[in-house]
Each structure stands twice: as C-alpha cells, then as structure tokens.
Amino acid sequence: DQQVKQNSPSLSVQEGRISILNCDYTNSMFDYFLWYKKYPAEGPTFLISISSIKDKNEDGRFTVFLNKSAKHLSLHIVPSQPGDSAVYFCAATTTGTASKLTFGTGTRLQVTL
Amino acid sequence: KAGVTQTPRYLIKTRGQQVTLSCSPISGHRSVSWYQQTPGQGLQFLFEYFSETQRNKGNFPGRFSGRQFSNSRSEMNVSTLELGDSALYLCASSRGYTDTQYFGPGTRLTVL
C-alpha cells in the first residue's frame, strides 16, 4: 500500500521556467511533509518541509504548498536551473515520529538549457 | 560540521553471508534511522534508534537488525543474505526524533 505517491516519474523543464513536482498521500495521520533531492550515488539532501498547520512554506527558489483537504502537496522551483536536475522525493511523517519517513517513489527532474 | 558518514561505501557479499554496515551521525545528533533503497520498492524505513534504544521498526524480517552505541554511532546487520537484499542502505541522523533528518551517502550492497 503506497501511502505517499508521486505519479509523475519524470519531468522536463527549460532553464528559467517553473518546475512543479506533485505528491499525494493517503494517510490522514501524516502532519509533516518534506522534500528531498537526490543525485546518483549520493544520499538524499533535505530541501524544504511543511507542517500541516501551514499551507505554504518558502525558502529561496523553493516553495512547498500543502492542500490538506485534497491530501496533496507540491514543490515549486522558480527559476529552474540545470543544477536542479536530480530525483526529488516527497516524504511524510507524523509529529513525534519524524524519524520514520514514508517516501514517495520519486520524480526525476531534468532542467534543459 | 561534518555530515553523516557511512562505511563501507561499497560491499559485495554472497548469499548466506552476513554483513555489518556502520553509520556515524552528525555531531550532536542522537537519533539515527536506516533506510533501504531498491529500484522496485523505493526508499523504505528499516528502523530508528535514539539514545541506544530502538524506537521504531519498519516491515523487514528479523534478519535485519541494528544497534546504537553511547556515542550515537549506529550499525546495522543483515544475516543470511539473500539476492533481494542488494540495495543502497542509507543512514540518516537528526538531533532528536522529531527533527529533520539528514542523510549519509549510503552503502551500496551487492549480493551475488
């Protein structure tokens, strides 16, 4: 049972444009969400997180939006840069057990020149 | 501040053998979690240790075990290796078990 889903395995975006990566979850107990970026042969790198008490969180070029009623979150990268090309994982957890993350299957982002 | 380190980075074993992987968390971090990444199953939670105690465990067979030492370093052990255990094993540390986790580079285990 996939509790966190990233339905787009890949996404290609031109440099300078907006990248939007989507994530859906089914477990209503999840109340803390994170995005990680992963390059081949490296561990995931933490990007940004959001608590369920918020619907938006920004950090530089990265913004995460949370729609609790739809159980949907998205990561916006503006503007996209070639160095952003990587696999992006959405992860979810419950407050108090933040060390047990449930990950989505990942979306491979390719930023082209 | 140094990041999470994992040793070894690469390992080749044969079926039936056992293996021990090591993880050194970021200084000051007391929680260590382990994950398995495979092409078919993605990133899956194995277990988490905090102050030398296992707090959470994922849905893996008993062949997978771990421990944490008083300096927060952690080891995971897989006994009686199977071909399906071939994976990237990732360790993540956090200050406490409610804090953001930071991952190490992983150990790539190949079982022949």
Q: What is the mean pLDDT of residues B50-66?
A: 94
What's the pLDDT at A112?
96
Dump pLDDT digits (tens) for B5-38: 999 999 999 999 999 999 999 999 999 999 999 9
Residue in B43, B45, B50 nearest the CB of A89: B43
Q: What is the mean pLDDT of residues B69-78?
A: 97
Q: Which tokens sit at A105?
A: 């299957």
Side chain identity at residue B71, one-letter code: N
Measured between CA atoms, the residue of chain B closest to residue A94 is B98
SS3 content of chain A, % helix, strand, coil (to 5): 5, 55, 45
Sign for the pseudo-dihedral over CA of A58, A93, A2, B83: positive
Dump pLDDT digits (tens) for A52-100: 999 999 999 999 999 999 999 999 999 999 999 999 999 999 876 667 8
Torsion angles phi and psi, residue A82, rounded to 5:
-55, -35
Q: What is the mean pLDDT of residues A8-14?
A: 96
What's the pLDDT at B1?
66
B78–chain A nearest CA distance, Å: 20
CA dist., res. A14 & res. A28, Å (int): 35
Check: CB of residue B19 under 8 Å from CB of residue B13.
Answer: yes
Which residue is it, tokens 């890949």? A10
**Partner-chain contact B100 A98, CB within 8 Å:** yes
Check: CB of residue B92 under 8 Å from CB of residue B104.
Answer: yes
